[in-house]
Amino acid sequence: MGGQKDEIGRGPKDLPRDLARANVSPVVNHRDPLSTLLKSWRHEPPSEPRFNSGVWARIEAGRRESGALSFYRWALPLAACLAVVLGAGTALRESRRQHTDRMAAAYVRNVDPLQMPPYPHSP
């Protein structure tokens, strides 16, 4: 199989040639009753005399209500940024506290008189 090429199905660019070889027409069969029905179907919504005024009334109502929504538009990103800054600040403070504790422990180990070697006294 490694050296053989397929006769059909090499890719989308070969589709017209493959259809011609298979003797298949890409055109939909127009004798299909569903196809004929779908082509003849038309949707005509009933006309509403106050449709445009109703649309503009809803747009204006949305503009009036946008005061509360505009608050949430900037409040949510602000709260997220504040949470990130507070979290980073807390992590930095904890890291510094641990570093200070380690430095204090190392200092005590180095200058503890009980752990220091005896110093010879002069008579």
Q: Which domain does 102 fall in, by range?
A: 81-112
Q: Is 30 contained in some domain?
A: no
pTM over 0.75: no
CA-CA distance, 24 to 13, in Å (whole number)? 16
The total number of structural domains that make up the chain: 1
Render each residue's pLDDT in the chain as its tens digit; 123 residues.
444 444 554 555 655 565 556 555 555 555 788 888 888 888 888 888 888 888 999 888 877 766 666 677 788 889 999 999 999 999 999 999 999 999 988 888 788 877 666 666 655
CA-CA distance, 28 to 37, in Å (whole number)? 14
Amino acid at 49: P
Q: Is 59 contained in some domain?
A: no
Where do we find the tokens 């180095």?
110
